[in-house]
Amino acid sequence: MGEHSGEDFTRIEDYLEAISLLIKKKGYARTADIASHLKVRSPAVTRMIQKLDKEGYLKYEKYRGISLTGKGKEIAETVESKHRIISEFLEMLGIKGKIAYEDAEGIEHHVHKETLDKITKLVEFLKKNPYWLKKLNKFLEQ
């Protein structure tokens, strides 16, 4: 992250996560797909892809596609993992669908590692102890 501001790196994470998800889903990621996923315009995607290629996060060959480098995959996987854990936690609290997804998207970039570790442990505990998850859900429904 070094040379990037927090906001810049959040954008980088968003792009790498989107590219990774698209590759997993479709087998490839095109600029139009990335633009649609991130709700931005294609020229902005092209500029960011060129920047990410130059900085070693991905390989971009015009007309051939985009692939993540080891560095890019590592960041994408970290962000995806955070998103998955936070989404699961929010769903355990009874927050569903689009709201859980959007909130997780916002939280994943700003959550401190210590906080995420505690959320992860709580999620694991509740998955292993459905009795307490039911008690929590009952309490939250009041």
pLDDT band at 5; cut points 50, 70, 90? low
The 10 Å Cβ neighbour count of residue 46 is 15
Name the residue type at position 15: Y
Q: Write down the pLDDT at residue 62.
A: 78
pTM, full prediction? 0.82
The 10 Å Cβ neighbour count of residue 27 is 8
pLDDT, tens digit, 9 for 90 and up, residues 62-114: 777 899 999 999 999 999 999 999 999 999 999 998 999 999 988 998 899 99
In the chain, where does the domain assigned CATH 1.10.60.10 lie? 79-141
Q: Which tokens sit at 124?
A: 């694991």
- Which listed CATH number (3.40.50.2020, 3.30.56.10, 3.30.70.890, 1.10.10.10) goes with 6-68? 1.10.10.10
pLDDT, tens digit, 9 for 90 and up, residues 36-63: 999 999 999 999 999 999 999 999 987 7
pLDDT band at 6; cut points 50, 70, 90? low
In the chain, where does the domain assigned CATH 1.10.10.10 lie? 6-68
Calpha distance 13→78 (Å, rounded): 9
Q: Write down the pLDDT at residue 1.
A: 45
- Which listed CATH number (1.10.10.60, 3.90.1570.10, 2.60.120.10, 1.10.60.10) goes with 79-141? 1.10.60.10
